[in-house]
Amino acid sequence: MSLRADNHRRFGLWALILAAVVGLALGLFAAWVVWPVDWTDTDPVDLRIEHQKTHILLVADSYAINGDVPLAQRRLQDLAPDGRDLAAVTRLADELLAERLAEGDAAAAARLKRLVDDTGLQSNAATAAPSEEPGQQGSEDRMGRGAPNWVMILFGLGALLVGLAAVVGLLLSRRGSRDKGPEYPVFDARLEPLDERPNETSTAPGQTPTSAGPSLEELLGIDATALSSQPAPQPARVARDVPPWEGVDEDDAIVPPAPSQVKVNKSGVLREYDIAYRYGDDDFYQSVTIDSPEESFIGQCGMVISEVLGSDDAQQVAAFDVWLFETQGTRTVSQVLASPWAARNESIVARLERKGEVVTAEPGLALTLETDSLRLTAQITALAYQHHPQFPEAIFERLAMHFRIEQMAT
């Protein structure tokens, strides 16, 4: 009986293991061979980070060609989890801008910066209303669009197989326990059965009764008197060496030395240079890399054309964008230097204010841009406008500026 019950238990265990292995093999075969995963028509928000950055670069390239602001905004909103919160898109754009500047790809950086400024990406991300929890809605949407029904069916079938195997093993175990009967000792067939016979000799009154057989001590060859005189055994004790730090609090055992506080004065002028623009320079774009005293890349600054009224023989530039970028905070600050005529035009000012503060260009004017640890002072050293009957003091003929970059003390 006992052997049969053990066999039933072993069979149930092996059946459970076999069912789990077969179910896992069938699930893997179905997932990789019969119904392999094939994602189609996914949204840009579901892409990996590197592919999302590629999407932003493609949008910037497309916007540089067609100049369609609403279309570019809709394409950037496709990267937002809920279509409204653009904070994550802004961070990706800033990181991408820093990467392009670090790689020396000034053209791609200019297109990307123009896309961010014209679409108002940073302002929209700052004013976007927060959802229930950051990233919660987007993750729920992605989960809703995620695993197809057949994947859930596979998981359900696998769980069902494991459950059936567990039930079968449990039933077999219970059946074996019910069939289990009392266990009897098994004797060698060559031995004779032990029969208890009554003592044939009677004990006379006053005589000591004699034992019918030898005692246990006699059979084992042990002297009962010697056994009773031995002292009781003592519990074993294992001697061990106690470390010198045992019993001491862990926090008091090893106290690391406090790091020395060193304050370094990082303030000072990092670079000075001059920028000059003349009418007819349609590809005007000036960018300078900012290096720390330790010769490490910490930022970039420059000036680029921001507003064009038209193009007869050359582009009629009415505003420039002066910008400063720092790698520490991955943030770009900018101000728009506009001609007097453009500064009085409300529609142009409303469009330029999305890039930064609009300042009217005047001789000797100084612009100041600051990030977390950098300060850019840009001063106009030469200024001239074209004589145009329709746009007086509107089109820049010549503009020269002196740039001074300083590192503020931290």
36-53 tens-digit pLDDT:
777 776 778 778 888 888
Cβ atoms of 94 and 332 closer than 8 Å: yes
Full-model pTM? 0.38
Across the chain, what does the average pLDDT equal?
74
What pLDDT score was predicted for residue 125? 58
374-385, strands of its sheet edge to edge: 268-278, 396-407, 374-385, 366-370
Mean pLDDT, range 93-107, rounded to an integer: 85
Higher pLDDT, 228 or 342: 342
Element (H, E) at 388: none
Separation between Cα atoms, residue 399 and residue 284, nearest integer Å: 12
Element (H, E) at 207: none
Tokens of 148: 């197809």
Mean pLDDT, range 8-31, rounded to an integer: 77
Cβ atoms of 359 and 338 closer than 8 Å: yes
Q: Is the confidence at residue 339, as pLDDT, over 90?
A: yes
What pLDDT score was predicted for residue 75? 84
Q: Is the confidence at residue 99, as pLDDT, over 80?
A: yes
Mean pLDDT, range 118-135, rounded to an integer: 58
What pLDDT score was predicted for residue 260? 35
Higher pLDDT, 277 or 135: 277
- 55 pLDDT band, cuts 50/70/90, is confident
Separation between Cα atoms, residue 189 and residue 179, nearest integer Å: 26
What pLDDT score was predicted for residue 50? 84
Q: Is the confidence at residue 400, as pLDDT, over 80?
A: yes
What pLDDT score was predicted for residue 360? 95
Q: Is the confidence at residue 1, as pLDDT, over 90?
A: no
pLDDT tens profile 298-335: 899 999 999 999 887 899 999 999 999 998 876 789 99
The residue with tokens 């990030």 is: 371
pLDDT tens profile 241-282: 444 444 545 444 444 444 333 333 345 899 999 999 999 999
315-326, strands of its sheet edge to edge: 285-291, 297-311, 315-326, 331-338, 357-360
The CA-atom distances, in angstroms, between 4 and each of 1, 17, 168 are 5, 20, 17
Query: Which DSSP string corresponds to 271-300?
Result: EEEEEEEETT-TT-EEEEEEE-TTS-EEEE
To the nearest 5 percent, what fractions of the chain are helix, strand and coil?
40, 20, 40
Mean pLDDT, range 213-229, rounded to an integer: 57
Q: Classify burial at 252, counting beta carbons within 10 Å of its beta carbon; exposed 0-12, middle 13-18, buried 19 or more.
A: exposed
- 186 pLDDT band, cuts 50/70/90, is very low
Q: Is the confidence at residue 66, as pLDDT, over 60?
A: yes
What pLDDT score was predicted for residue 4? 57
